[in-house]
Amino acid sequence: MKKLSFLLICLFSGLFSFAQTHDTQVENVINTVNLDSLIYQLRNLSGEDEVVISGETTTIEHRVSNWGNNLAAQYIMESLQAIGLETTLDTYTLDGQNVYAVQPGTVYPDEYYMICGHYDAVDYYCADDNASGTAAVIEAARILSTMEFEYSIIYALWDEEEIGLIGSADYAARAASNGDVIHSVINMDMISWDQDEDMVVELHSSTNANSTQLADYIVEINEIYELNTVPTIELPGTSASDHSSFWNNGYSSVLVIEEYYGGDFNPHYHTELDRIDILNMDYFFETSKLCIGSLASMCVPILNTSTVEMPETEDGKIEIYPNPASSSSRINFYLEKSQYTEVTLLNNMGQTISTLHQGEMKDIIHQIELPLEALSQGLYFIKLETANFSKTEKLMVK
């Protein structure tokens, strides 16, 4: 218990362990992001080029919700369907329509990671705000839909962000009410303006639901894969985009955006001067790679899709009570025999926060008291490993 107490002191001092390693499949995802594909979607969504929607050639003249932006929503839905994803046109009010697609995970189909952006606008064109984020979501779907991942992926495009984050607020509230397990949300809003060409990307974070760890994770992806962006974490970050709808409902999320705080923010946003010819395509390309690569890493790409089912057994059973919990929780482990065992506490991205036990477990029933006051609200995992098996259970801190 002395060792456990020391480790918990380290945990409560904020000494988190980030043990990400290079993954060839994630690198392949990053290298597959295509600038021509991004520009194609950016031009279509901002009304620069004609598109085919429902078999008819037309132009998306605007994406303003109170002018009627159903054409844009239909285009996004058909684009995701053409990729092969099951897509939902979610009409949550008379005027509001979110569009999202779900890619089922192979191992944890009921646990999700999300990449999103708003597609609505306040004027004509509005390429940076936010055709850029919308195009990057479609690009993520184009690439990742060809792969298999342990976790499910939600590709979401929100309506009515510009008039109060209405679309994302509706979705996030319903998800929380339904108990949907969404581990992390990457929200992309205005990712193509970089006039000073310093490649700085702001990650707006919060102490809510492990959002700081998510921002740190994205920074680490940038370092591991030697990307050309310069991510900076803003804490506390702005609440003026759809990521805050998820903060408000207890989900980990970050906003990825150009220099909103840093002084290099698009001066033409919310006007018809926000067009593709004033934007920085290299910056758009590199920021998209950072977001899509981070998502791919978190969802855990599967190389060998064959699986072996473990036989059902009481050996290694984990019980956590109370769960959800706020101040403390008791963890019981059941083993059939004395054996070397490692018990770890993981955050919602599967990163080790603390080792709770490492060594011989001599008793059939082993108990650990886990204080929780220093943990932020959100989802965690307790993982039990021996030489013969591994078992994980969820712990919800409220």
Residue-wise pLDDT for 218-236, tens only, equals 999 999 999 999 999 999 9
* 323 and 294 housed in the same domain: no
Cβ neighbours for 141, distance < 8 A, ≥ 6 positions apart:
80, 83, 85, 101, 103, 155
pLDDT for residue 333: 75
Q: Is residue 306 part of a domain?
A: no
Tokens standing for 268?
Answer: 């033409």
Whether pLDDT at 308 is above 60: no
Tokens of 394: 């969820």
Average pLDDT of the chain, as a whole number: 88
In degrees, rounded to 5, the angle at the alpha carbon of residue 17 between the alpha carbons of residues 15 and 19 is 160
Task: Give the domain extent around 372.
Answer: 2-10+313-397
**293 and 323 assigned to the same domain:** no
Q: Is residue 19 part of a domain?
A: no
Conformation bin of residue 300: beta by default, left when phi > 0, alpha when psi is -120 to 50? left
Domain assignment present for 50? yes
Residue range 64-93: average pLDDT? 96
Q: Are residues 142 and 185 in the same domain?
A: yes
Look at residues 257, 277, 299 and tell me which one is the last residue of a structural domain.
299
The residue among 382 and 214 whose pLDDT is bigger is: 214
* Cα angle value 284/287/292 (rounded, 5°): 120
pLDDT exceeds cutoff 80 at 390: no
Assign 3-class secondary structure to 293-324: HHHHHHHCECCCCCCCCCCCCCCCEEEEECCC
**343 and 268 together in one domain:** no
Q: How far is CA 312 from the centre of its chain?
A: 32
Domain boundary (267, 299, 331) is at 299
Q: Which helix (H) or strand (E) holds 186?
A: strand 181-188
- 190 and 284 inside one domain: yes
Q: pLDDT value at position 220?
A: 97
Q: Which two tokens stand for residue 11?
A: 């945990």
Give the pLDDT score at 299.
Answer: 96
Is position 358 within any domain? yes
- Same structural domain for residues 51 and 174? yes
Tell me: do 230 and 322 sit in the same domain. no
CATH (domain of 347): 2.60.40.1930
* Of 241 and 362, more confident: 241
State how many domains the chain has: 2
Residues 293 and 320 reside in one and the same domain: no
Which of 235, 264, 299 is the C-terminal boundary of a domain?
299
Least confident of 80-84, 181-185, 221-225, 357-361: 357-361
Mark whether 295 and 335 lie in a shared domain: no
How many Å apart are CA 97 and CA 369, to the nearest integer? 46
- Shared domain for 335 and 258, answered yes or no, is no
Does 307 map to a domain? Answer: no
Rg (CA), the chain: 22
Question: What's at 236, amino acid-wise?
Answer: P
Give the CATH number of the domain where residue 122 resides. 3.40.630.10
Name the nearest CA neighbour of 381 among 337, 295, 323, 336: 323
**Residues 251 and 358 placed together within one structural domain of the fold:** no
Average pLDDT over residues 169-195: 98
Residue 166 has pLDDT above 90, yes or no: yes
- Whether 276 is in a domain gets the answer yes
- Specify if 17 maps to a domain: no
Claim to verify: residue 260 and residue 372 sit in the same structural domain: no
